[in-house]
A and B are shown apart, each in its own frame.
Chain A
């Protein structure tokens, strides 16, 4: 068929360009190339996953080690944790030291006595020092009738030991919550008697040492008194210039005000040290569930899963931080794709 009789399509096909032989040789001569970066990325991701799981397991093993629980004869599970608090105040007096002792007791027979002894020993651990005790107990009783009588007996225990019930919330079908104030010297006895009201489910005791705080406050008070005496003596001098007299009078008034504040603070410290706070929750079987004790494997798994969850939170946080960057990258990619059409249409 002559060229001028062929259709455009036929002409294009008939005169289609052919790849030169040099190109053919070039293309067919490719050598396989290693992709170290991709392999490294795969290994890195797998390595990170292994490290994360390994760290969680190690964390679980170390946290669930045999040294953590304090063994108490007859007590299925006792856990003890010591914490040092941080104080946000910028006041110069030395900070009070604080010990928090947590005791969780399984609801099995015979556990109450041992746990009570143990906690009582902890409370009585620093005799002779001014300490404030915060304790909370959860006690299980068998019926609603027992709930009523246990609530009444708990109030009586507080009053019999020189304390009082600051608040009592009682519901006939459910539980009762008591806030008791008991002299610190009798806390040990109070905890023992309160624990015998039913089955001790859980118990938490926090002891704050106030001795150092009291010492600091007393020192400040003594210093202020000396200063006030010196200022008063200076003001008795008749040859004192009037301007300086006024300044000294102002300082004397400030010192007296500071002394008053320090005296009140010390009174509060002594009050906190002499009266302790005991919170008691008494409930029936339905309302208070006993604390399930965990074996070492259980604790290991619990701690490991907790650690993994923490790692997951960190990864999630990183993703949240990176997501705006990813969005911008996606927008750029879209923009580049749109620009292709404009480029080829030109």
Chain B
């Protein structure tokens, strides 16, 4: 199904607001990447991406382009969905001990990432991977990323620089 699917074709408002199908098609990869980095689980990220777009589709009428870009809006929904997933995972892990966690570590975060970078990413906390995904992969600016994370711009920058520093340290250790 392509982007012109009638069921997703929300009426445009005087040409200044894109249709949902168009936005979904453009932002799918970005949302998926964000969720892969945040959860560290590709299969979960797929389900959460679908859930994110389902929620976004339902509340599309409430989206106001003047308050932020579609990417920022979608990332906020994705984060809310992911947080619910984290809570459920946390409860499940408490029940099943660490079995599920070990299983998840075998999946790759990136497509063909160097193993040392993959491992370094795995060592980051979800919050640090999240800020890397938003600022580096999705190329959101500081204010937008801070808005998605619900923190100040300063805190966002600090978290990003700390995460990148840790990644670079691990990479330089591996190169040496």
Spell out A's residues near B (CB within 8 Å).
Answer: 3-4, 7-9, 11-13, 15-20, 22-33, 35, 337, 340-341, 343-346
Contact = CB atoms under 8 A, between A and B. Distances in A.
A9 B1 contact: no
B41 to A, nearest CB: 12
A19 B8 CA distance: 19
Given A19-B29, A19-B49, A12 B58 contact: no
5 closest A-B pairs by beta carbon, nearest first, are A15-B110, A19-B32, A344-B127, A15-B113, A27-B53
B87 interface: yes
Interface in B79-134: 83, 86-87, 90, 108-114, 117, 125-127, 130, 132
Given A24-B25, A343-B83, 8 more contacts: A8-B164, A9-B164, A18-B111, A19-B28, A26-B50, A30-B7, A33-B58, A337-B150
B2 A28 contact: yes
12 contacts: A8-B168, A11-B117, A12-B137, A15-B113, A16-B137, A17-B110, A23-B28, A28-B25, A29-B5, A29-B7, A30-B8, A30-B57
B54 interface: yes
B32 A344 contact: no
A12 B117 contact: yes
Contact of B46 (A20, A31, A33): A20
Contacts of A20: 46
Given A4-B175, A18-B32, A343-B90, A28 B49 contact: no
B21 interface: yes
B58 to A, nearest CB: 7
B171 interface: yes
Interface in B14-44: 21, 24-25, 28-29, 32-33, 36, 38, 42
Given A12-B136, A28-B25, A340-B83, A23 B1 contact: no
Chain B interface extent, by class:
35 or more
A344 B125 contact: yes
Interface string B137-156: 10000000000001000000
A13 B46 CA distance: 19
B78 interface: no
A25 B46 CA distance: 12
Contact of B53 (A11, A18, A30, A33): A30
B75 interface: no
B167 interface: yes
A11 B164 CA distance: 12
B136 A346 contact: no
Contacts of B126: 343-346
Contacts of A3: 114
A22 B46 CA distance: 9
A13 B137 contact: yes
A31 B5 CA distance: 10
A17 B8 contact: no
Nearest to B109: A17
A7 B114 CA distance: 12
B14 to A, nearest CB: 22
B104 to A, nearest CB: 14
Contacts of A344: 38, 83, 86, 125-127, 130
Contacts of B8: 28, 30
A19 B74 CA distance: 15
Contacts of A12: 110, 113, 117, 132, 136-137
Nearest to A343: B86
Contacts of B49: 19, 23, 27
A29 B50 CA distance: 10
Nearest to A11: B117
Contacts of A9: 136, 164
Given A27-B28, A30-B7, A30-B53, A16 B33 contact: yes
Nearest to A35: B58
Contacts of B86: 343-344
A25 to B, nearest CB: 6
A23 B46 contact: yes
Contacts of B33: 16-17
A79 to B, nearest CB: 54
A251 to B, nearest CB: 78
A17 B90 contact: no
